[in-house]
Amino acid sequence: MPPKTKKSPTLSQIQRPPAEILHAAELQQLRDRDGIAPRPQNWQLTPRSVLDFILGNADLKIAPKFVGTRSLLERCIVALATNRGLMLIGEPGTAKSYLSELLAAAISNDSTLTIQGSAGTTEDAMKYSWNYALLLAEGATDRALVPAPLHRGMQQGKIVRFEEITRCPLEMQDTLLSILSDRVMAIPEMEDEGRNLYAQMGFNVIATASTRDRGVNEMSAALKRRFNFETIPPINNLRQELELVQTQTDKLLAQANIPLTLPPELTEILVTTFHELRTSKTSDGKALEPLSTVMSTAEAVSVGYAAGMHGFYYNDAQVTAEHLVQSLLGSAIKDSVEDVKKLQHYFNLVVKGRKGERWHQYYEAGKHLV
C-alpha cells in the first residue's frame, strides 16, 4: 500500500492567509506589468508597483489595502531600498503590522520571515539554532544549522519583519546592530568558509513598535540610528474609515462562510462611535472623556465581525444594534471599570440625542453596558 501523502491546505482552509497568498493574482498582474523595468536588486516588484499594490490602482483593478498618504508610503518604500531599516511606530491598532506584511509581500513575495518581539525572545529565535542530533554526528555543518528569520532573510535577500521590537530585552534588540550596519552575521561555530553570512541584495528589516510601550525597553541610540522612523497615524477621515471597516468586516464574514454583510447603517454607527471616542470629541465639537483603551480601526473591524457572527448564529442572520453593543463591550472594556462609566456617559450624552431609528435602537441596547 503506497504511503499517504500530506495534502497542502487550500486557501479556504487557511484561517489567516499571508498577503502574498491572499493577493497572489494581483501580485502576478503587477509583475507582468513591470516586465524587465528597473528595480532594486532582488525585488519582486518595482517601487511604483509596490505602491500600487498597497494603495490600489483603479485602472488595473488593484484594490486598496491600506489607508495612508502617498508620501508616507513612498518614504517607507525608498527606505527599504537603502541600507537602513524601516521602523513603523504608532498607537496600537493603526495597522503597522499589516503595512509591514504588505511591504514584505510586495517586495519579497514572502511576509513570513517574522520575529515576534516579547520578553522571552531569544537570539536563537532571531538568528539560528542547531539540530543537536546532526550537530553531534556531523559537527557544525549547513545541514545541522536551523535558520531563523534573520538568517533566512540575509541568505535569500528578503525582508524580515520584527514585530513589537521594544517588547524585547535590550540585548536582543542590539543583536541587530552589526547586521544592520555591516550586513553580516557571525556564525562562530562554523568552519572558516561559513563563519560569516553576508546579506544578499534585497535584505532589510521592518520593525514595529507601539507608542504605548515607550519606556518598556527603550531602543538604544545606536540602534535608532540604523532605522528610518515613520509614524503611522490613526485614520482621521471618517468616510475612509467607514469604507475600510465595511470592506474588511464583510471580507472576514465571507471567509467564515457567513452569508451576510454588516448593514451599512450599523457600520456607520460603529465607526462613528470609535472615531468620536478615539478623538475624545463628537462630530459637533463636544468634548468627551478619553477611554484608556485604544479605539482603533482594527478593533472596530473586530467588533463588526463579532456582531455579524452573533446575529447569524443567534438571531436568524439578522444583525442588530444590540449585537453591536455586546461586541463593543469585549473590545472597548478591557480592564478598566472607569471605561464602562465613560462609555455609559457617551451613550447618555451623545447617542441618546441622535436622530434615527438605528441610533434609538443603539441607545436602548446601551442597557448591556453594566
- Give the pLDDT confidence of 226-245 residue by residue, as tens digits: 999 999 998 888 899 999 99
**Per-residue pLDDT for 52 more than 70?**
yes
322-340 pLDDT, tens per residue?
999 999 887 666 667 788 8
Nearest C-alpha neighbor of 164 from the set 112, 202, 219: 219
pLDDT at position 272 = 95
Give the mean pLDDT of 189-210: 91
pLDDT at position 100 = 97
Q: Which H or E run includes 219?
A: none
262 dihedral zone (left: phi>0; alpha: psi -120 to 50; beta): beta
Q: Which amino acid is at 193?
A: E
Nearest C-alpha neighbor of 244 from the set 262, 257, 258, 229: 262
pLDDT at position 177 = 94
Indicate the pLDDT class of residue 60, thresholds 50, 70 and 90. very high
Give the mean pLDDT of 64-73: 93
**Per-residue pLDDT for 1 more than 90?**
no
Eight-class DSSP state of 62:
B
What are the distances in angstroms from CA 282 to CA 237, 249, 357, 364? Answer: 14, 24, 20, 20
Nearest C-alpha neighbor of 339 from the set 133, 66, 180, 347: 347
pLDDT at position 76 = 97
**Per-residue pLDDT for 212 more than 80?**
no
More confident residue, 322 or 290: 322
What are the distances in angstroms from CA 231 to CA 99, 109, 209, 216, 353? Answer: 12, 24, 10, 18, 36
**Per-residue pLDDT for 180 more than 90?**
yes
Contacts of residue 299, Cβ cutoff 8 Å, sequence gap at least 6: 93, 274, 293, 331, 332
pLDDT at position 31 = 97
Indicate the pLDDT class of residue 37, thresholds 50, 70 and 90. very high
Indicate the pLDDT class of residue 357, thresholds 50, 70 and 90. very high
**Per-residue pLDDT for 2 more than 60?**
no
CATH code matching the domain that covers 14-231, chosen among 3.30.450.20, 3.40.640.10, 3.40.50.300, 1.10.1060.10 = 3.40.50.300
CA 134 remoteness from chain centre:
37
| Residue ranges of domains in the chain | 14-231, 238-368
70-92 pLDDT, tens per residue?
999 999 999 999 989 999 999 88
**Per-residue pLDDT for 6 more than 90?**
no
Which of 91-95, 131-135, 136-140, 364-368 is least confident? 91-95
* Cell representation of residue 237: 477621515
* Cell representation of residue 262: 454588516
pLDDT at position 266 = 96
Q: Which H or E run includes 101?
A: helix 96-108
